[in-house]
Structure 1
Amino acid sequence: MNPESCPALVLNADYQPLSYFPLSVWPWQEVVKAVCMDRVTILSEYDQEIHSPSMRMRLPSVVALKRYIAPARRPAFTRFNLFLRDRFSCQYCGSRHELTFDHVVPRSRGGLTRWDNVVAACAPCNLTKGGRMPHDCHMHPRIRPHMPTVQELQRNGRAFPPNFLHESWRDFLYWDSELEP
């Protein structure tokens, strides 16, 4: 197994992931550096070992920061966070393809680029709506645009698991998931 395929899940000091989407992971080099600098506690390891002339260690698969990092109180207004709030789907037709964003009240009509006026929209719906008001074209967003909480974005992010999930990570993720009978 190549060390490049051994990222580590990074948990905050409270043992919660720093973020769910994208999942907080570090490449093996960063984790080894953090271990050597005594910034993290190793919670789980891969079978893969690395070594130098003076030391040998198994690569960490899960680490927890020793110092707590407070999460942001308000999420940044970014395209990614907007798509995450809207669950990566067009708020007019539900499509998950060719996503862009739409001003519910068009900028040409005084609409501002902010959480309460922008939604994810597929390119065809965005073109169809154009610079018209929702009531003029009978296109109303499925959800009312709003500033999401950090918790809402984390909750939405859990619905989109990453491509790589090592089995050792399962004990530290998705605590609020329903258990299988």
Structure 2
Amino acid sequence: MTLHVHQPVSPEACPALVLNADYRPLSYYPLSLWSWQDAIKAVFLDRVNIVSRYDKTVRSPSFEMRLPSVVSLKTYVKPSRFPAFTRFNVFLRDRFTCQYCGSRDDLTFDHLIPRSKGGQTTWDNVVAACSPCNLRKGDRLAHDVGMIPHRLPFAPTVNDLHQNGRQFPPNYLHDSWMDYLYWDTELDP
């Protein structure tokens, strides 16, 4: 089936917020989004329920559909309790901030115990660091050069990363998503 877009829609436009079967986003950061094409495919494969729709429509000769803006999975996906050890997740754990000087520019990561001294690339030994701090510390121990991280590194849970991710909302949030984002956070009195 060939779909023709009724109104001009770029591939990046009209993403669908993807909720788990319990109506919570699959992830907060990065926010769980599908392209409108993937959302429509999931609808046809009967894998999702449409929760909310955009005003934009796609058409084929025998079919017309308003684009989904929010979909929920029909089958619950159990979230992992322990996130993957990735550069992005280290930055997210450390809130995209150099743990030595507080800068948010030119981030890399630093081994508290340098690899040259037997340090491993693990959650408990790696912190986000800006390039100038990383170069200044070099292959020395942090305490030897007076560079103590603001927060000691730790292995975060998925919930830790979700909490941090909520502090960095994406550039674009459609109005239809707001009822499903951040609903489990504390309300102001």
Aligned to 2:8: 2
> Cα deviations across residues 60-96 of structure 1 (Å, max 9, x unaligned)?
0000000111111211000000000000000000000
| Residue correspondence of structure 1 range 30-179 to structure 2 within 5 A | 30-179=38-187
Greater helix share, 1 or 2? 1
Partner SS for 2:103: coil
**1-side partners of 2:104 and 2:79: how far apart?**
29
**2-side partners of 1:71 and 1:178: how far apart?**
22
Give the share of equivalent positions with the same residue, in percent. 66
Which one-letter code corresponds to 2:14 in the other structure? C
Where does the alignment leave 5 or more consecutive residues of structure 2 unmatched? 1-6
**2-side partners of 1:38 and 1:3: how far apart?**
24
Q: How far did 1:55 drift?
A: 1.2
**2-side partners of 1:51 and 1:180: how far apart?**
44
| Kept after mapping to 2: 8 A contact 1:62/1:168 | yes
Which one-letter code corresponds to 1:75 in the other structure? P
Partner SS for 2:97: coil
Would you say 1:21 and 2:52 are equivalent positions?
no
**1-side partners of 2:67 and 2:188: how far apart?**
30
Q: How far did 1:11 drift?
A: 0.4
Find 2:20's aligned residue among 12, 22, 41. 12
**1-side partners of 2:159 and 2:181: how far apart?**
15
Q: Normalising to structure 2: TM-score of the pair?
A: 0.92
Partner SS for 1:80: helix
Partner SS for 1:171: coil
Which one-letter code corresponds to 1:173 in the other structure? L
Q: Normalising to structure 1: TM-score of the pair?
A: 0.96
Which one-letter code corresponds to 2:153 in the other structure? P
Aligned to 2:3: none
**2-side partners of 1:68 and 1:54: how far apart?**
32
Where does the alignment leave 5 or more consecutive residues of structure 1 unmatched? none
**2-side partners of 1:118 and 1:180: how far apart?**
35
**CA root-mean-square deviation:** 1.2
Which one-letter code corresponds to 2:129 in the other structure? A
**2-side partners of 1:139 and 1:162: how far apart?**
32
**2-side partners of 1:110 and 1:87: how far apart?**
27
